[in-house]
A and B are shown apart, each in its own frame.
Chain A
């Protein structure tokens, strides 16, 4: 069955520290992959997406993600986290439909 897994429910980092949020997918073929961010009570904002080509994808707000076929992963990274990055992050994959992971809540300490 198709699935998207985010192993980390909650991550806490200090402001200025680096960040990596994990995402694994299970599909018959390589799906389109996305990372979204959601602030409390808000909709989803697209950070970045991978369709094909270069496996390192640059997104908005200084985020990037790397597609690794051998590991079925699409981890999100940021070299230096800002307090405003605190939010819920969702990885999603699919083609005609999107399947979302369960989300990772990021908390940033000053």
Chain B
């Protein structure tokens, strides 16, 4: 099956710094990538949808200036958590799709962000 890789798998950063998470589709071209956030022992919540070459579409309540998403190529999308604070600590998961539908997407292994 298709492989989606996230990097890093985990990261610890100081409060106030920015952190970049990468999501790569290794063996297919991803027209659309989806970013999810998962709080401990909770479900996944869609944060935003990104399409290659255009601005991301953010879900209601997600601060686009806080969570910068770039989808510069068909194999790479990045999520940058800017001026991170402890409440941003979470598990972030991306998925990538050749088409526009989340139903066709494959998930990455996730990134554990801890802000201290």
Which A residues fall within an 8 A CB radius of B?
A: 32, 34, 36, 41-46, 49, 51, 90, 94-98, 100-103, 105
| Residues in chain A near residue B42, CB distance under 8 A | 102-103
Question: Can you list 21 A-B pairs, Cβ within 8 angstroms, ordered by A?
Answer: A34-B103, A42-B110, A43-B107, A43-B110, A44-B95, A45-B107, A46-B106, A51-B103, A90-B43, A95-B101, A96-B101, A96-B102, A96-B103, A97-B34, A97-B102, A98-B46, A100-B44, A100-B45, A101-B43, A102-B42, A102-B43
| A103/B109 in contact, CB under 8 A | no
Further 7 A-B residue pairs, CB within 8 A, beyond A44-B95, A98-B105, A100-B44: A34-B103, A42-B110, A46-B106, A94-B102, A96-B101, A97-B46, A98-B103
Contact count A vs B, C-beta below 8 Å:
52
Chain B residues numbered 90-116 whose CB sits less than 8 Å from any CB in chain A = 91, 93, 95, 100-103, 105-110, 112
